Amino acid sequence: RYERYYITAGALGIVNSILYIFSTCLGLRALSLK
């Protein structure tokens, strides 16, 4: 059961970092358009 918890936490961390990078790229693009 602990293995499943670590796998879920790792997947959430990966998705969170991907969303963070994606939002950062969108923010930089919005600033460059202004």
**pLDDT at residue 14 in the model:** 98
Rounded distance between C-alpha atoms, residue 2 and residue 5, angstroms: 5
Sign of CA dihedral 10, 11, 15, 16: negative
* Predicted pLDDT at 2: 81
Residues 1-34 pLDDT 10s: 788 989 999 999 999 999 999 999 999 999 998 7
Q: Is the pTM of this model over 0.95?
A: no
d(CA 16, CA 10): 10
- pLDDT at site 34: 73
CA 19, CA 34: separation in Å to the nearest integer?
23
Q: Which pLDDT score, from 0 to 100, does residue 13 have?
A: 96
